[in-house]
Structure formats: C-alpha cells, structure tokens
Amino acid sequence: MDDQCANLIPTPVVVSAQRSLEEAIEKLLATQDSGDFSLSGFRVKVEGGTATVDLRTAAASPRSLHSLSMCEQLALFGGLRQTLTSNPQWGIQSVRFTEQGQEIEL
C-alpha cells in the first residue's frame, strides 16, 4: 500500500514454476502478519476462471479478519485479488474469499 492507503504498489517476487500460485499467495500473506493479526494458512481452488481463497486466522490471533481496518482489508484482499488476476498463466478473472468455508463479506 502507498502512504495514503489509496493504491496498491506492485512488488515483484520470485516463485517456483511448480507452485507459483501458492507461493505468490504465501509471500503476500507473510507481509500481512502484524503483532495483533496473523493467519495460520490458506487453501486455494481455481475453477472456471474463479479462484476461491479460503483463509485461516491463527488461533492465537487477537484480531479476526472482520476487525481489519479498511486500509488493512484493501492491502490483504485487494493485494490478493490483484496478484491472482494479474498473471495470465493462471487464467483467473475473479477471486472469492472465504474463512473456513464461509463467505467473507467485504
């Protein structure tokens, strides 16, 4: 995110060819871990051009996904959406977010 929390700033990362999608998500999620919010993992499934990213909040995390500020939400969900739809090799046109299988309302 930029200093004004208005725009996402692309950051190139190196990932392996075999797990490029998963590694790109892992690297982005690693940047979202703060002292009071952390994720323990995720699952991703791509069907028909739509990626579903199922996020898991760490059990010890004092904050949940729903407690994130607008800026934090934009960084997390906007960053994931932009990352997943920007790589033509993955063929992803849209992204859905769930938490342990339940739709996340943004």
- Per-residue confidence at 96, pLDDT binned at 50, 70, 90? very high
Say if residues 61 and 38 touch (Cβ distance below 8 Å): yes
First to last CA, the chain: 18
* Structural domain includes residue 10: no
Q: How far apart are CA 59 and CA 44, in angstroms?
A: 20
pLDDT greater than 80 at residue 34? no
* Domain harbouring 36, CATH code: 3.30.70
What's the domain range around 95?
20-101
* Number of domains the chain is built from: 1
* Structural domain includes residue 61: yes
* Structural domain includes residue 95: yes
Say if residues 33 and 57 touch (Cβ distance below 8 Å): no
| Cβ partners under 8 Å of residue 78, min gap 6 | 8
pLDDT of residue 101: 92
Where is 24: in which H helix or E strand? helix 20-30
Look at the pTM and tell me if it is higher than 0.75.
yes
The mean per-residue pLDDT over the stretch 14-27 comes to: 92
* Structural domain includes residue 15: no
pLDDT of residue 25: 95
* Structural domain includes residue 7: no
* Structural domain includes residue 38: yes
pLDDT digits (tens, 9 = 90+) for 41-88: 999 999 999 999 999 999 999 999 989 999 999 999 999 999 999 999
Kindly state the DSSP code that residue 38 receives in the 8-state scheme.
-
